[in-house]
């Protein structure tokens, strides 16, 4: 399984594919108050190195965002 295969999958499917590995999970947010709309998807999946060797990072984001006032 390579990271490009996981891009744009719903995060649940990407997480399932990485279930046997340690994982750092982050959600990309806009620089303003907003609600995520649509599906939360894997945007980038990368293997971590150094002290986190063997772990992966999954950066996720929603299909869109609706600004809240």
Q: Give the pLDDT confidence of 8-45 residue by residue, as tens digits.
A: 999 999 999 888 888 899 999 999 999 999 999 999 99
Residue 4, domain extent: 1-42
Does 56 reside within a domain?
A: no
Residue 66 inside a domain? The answer is no
Whole-model pTM: value is 0.81
Antiparallel, parallel or unpaired: β 56-67 and 34-47: antiparallel
> Is residue 15 in a domain?
yes
Q: What's the distance, Cα to Cα, between the start and end of the chain in Å?
A: 41
The band of 2, judged by pLDDT with boundaries at 50, 70 and 90, is: low
């Amino acid at each position: 399984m390579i990271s490009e295969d996981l891009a744009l999958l719903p995060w649940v499917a990407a997480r399932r594919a990485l279930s046997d590995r340690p994982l750092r999970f982050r959600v990309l947010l806009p620089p303003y108050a907003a609600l995520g709309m649509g599906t939360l998807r894997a945007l980038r999946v990368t293997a971590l190195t150094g002290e986190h060797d063997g772990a992966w990072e999954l950066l996720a984001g929603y299909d869109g965002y609706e600004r809240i006032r």
